[in-house]
Amino acid sequence: MSGLTQDDIQRMRGELFIEGPEARRRLSRYWLLLPLSAVIASAGVVSDSTATVIGAMIVAPLMTPILGIVLSVVLADGPNLRRSLLLVVTGAAAVVLLAWILGLLVPYPVVAATSSQVASRISPRIVDLVAALATGAVGSVALARSDISDTLPGVAIAISLVPPLAVVGLTLESGAPHQALGSLLLFITNVIAILASGIVVMTLYRVRRNSDSAAHRALRPSGAVILVGLLLLAVIVPLWINSEHFDQSSIRLTGVEAVANHWASSAGWSVLGVSNTADKVLIDVTGPNPPPSLRDLRQELDSAGLGNFDVRVQMLAGRYAPVPR
């Protein structure tokens, strides 16, 4: 990668840092868009609308101060580093608080059982970290190269920042702190990934070397880089645990579903659904009397090596009756 010019660095500072004569206007823009994106994200989670949640991702301005942290670290710009950190922390807290308040208006709990938007954000895995690292790299490259800045809306959609925070507030209000913690882990993972990949990209573009500030050259950003690296290692542990649990649950669900389909179809019954809970597998089946034998199902599960799982079956016996003309 070729190094950036001083004009490029000044352009990035103007896009990311809240300083100079435009500071008040840019700060008011941030605090105008952030609450609106929080409301949109919360509404999308409550209504279980993917399109609405995507809209919140595009509106949300949180990516700007996060990339501001990246540039501040590379330039060793202490004042802007503190300002960017403060914007991220206070912005995240504001989104959680707004989502919690909006949750008071919902007459039912907004949890994984009632919203797929919640369910998809409470158990982040290693693959989420990999995607966030790649997305953060794209965002940093788009910032450094003005000729590909049109990819930034795609980066905003790919990286999930405000929606996980909205899930944190809604699930806390619904009395599900464990789910809130999982969604907070997703947000922290995404932020750390953006910082890590962004610092790498900015280093490859030799941003610090091309900065003309002697004061910045006198400072060393190594401490912040080491901290980001340690945070990255720290989030890998819970993400790895979640990945292992998800893989085991998927294998268990796939195996039980295959056996259940064979067992039910042999008696003329149909499997309506197979689902996982924390410690058991639930099977819903329907068909005409007489129902198939549960002992036969247990034998088939044992033969398939699935005998250690606690399996529960809900049987809905019945038949279709013609409506008289």
Which CATH number goes with the domain that contains 265?
Answer: 3.30.300
Instruction: Specify whether 265 is located in the same domain as 216.
Output: no
Instruction: Specify whether 104 is located in the same domain as 46.
Output: yes
* pLDDT in the model for residue 232: 84
Full residue range of the structural domain in which residue 255 is found: 248-317
User: Burial code of 135-162, b = ≥16 C-beta within 10 A, e = fewer?
Assistant: bbbbbbbbbbeeeeeeeeeebbebbbbb
What secondary structure does DSSP assign to 273-314, as a single string?
EEEE-SS-EEEEEEESSSPPPHHHHHHHHHHTT-TTS-EEEE
Instruction: Specify whether 312 is located in the same domain as 175.
Output: no
Q: Where is the domain boundary, 220, 235, 261?
A: 220
Q: What is the distance between the alpha carbons of residues 110 and 169, in angstroms, rounded to a whole number?
A: 10
* pLDDT in the model for residue 214: 44
pLDDT per residue as tens digits for the range 121-174 = 988 999 889 998 998 888 888 888 777 666 666 677 778 899 999 999 999 999
* pLDDT in the model for residue 49: 93
| Contacts by 199-204, CB closer than 8 A, 24 or more apart | 199/70, 199/73, 199/74, 199/225, 199/228, 200/137, 201/137, 201/140, 201/141, 201/144, 202/70, 202/71, 202/74, 202/140, 202/144, 203/74, 204/1
Instruction: Specify whether 186 is located in the same domain as 302.
Output: no
Is 54 contained in some domain?
Answer: yes
Whether the Cβ atoms of residue 135 and residue 198 lie closer than 8 Å to each other:
no
Output the CA angle 162-164-166, nearest 5 degrees.
70
Write a three-state SS string for 47-114.
HCCHHHHHHHHHHCCCHHHHHHHHHHHHHCCHHHHHHHHHHHHHHHHHHHHHHHHHHCCCCCCCCCCC
Instruction: Specify whether 36 is located in the same domain as 184.
Output: yes
* pLDDT in the model for residue 210: 56
Instruction: Specify whether 172 is located in the same domain as 309.
Output: no
Instruction: Specify whether 142 is located in the same domain as 19.
Output: yes
Q: What is the distance between the alpha carbons of residues 301 and 77, in angstroms, rounded to a whole number?
A: 62
* pLDDT in the model for residue 212: 54
* pLDDT in the model for residue 216: 47
Q: What is the distance between the alpha carbons of residues 75 and 213, in angstroms, rounded to a whole number?
A: 9
Is 152 contained in some domain?
Answer: yes
The list of the chain residues with pLDDT below 70 reads: 1-3, 148-154, 208-222, 224, 277-279, 319-320
Instruction: Specify whether 184 is located in the same domain as 86.
Output: yes
Number of domains the chain contains: 2
Q: For residue 242, what are its two tokens?
A: 């979640």
Determine if residue 268 is left, alpha or beta; phi over 0 gives left, psi from -120 to 50 gives alpha, anything else beta.
Answer: left
* pLDDT in the model for residue 109: 94
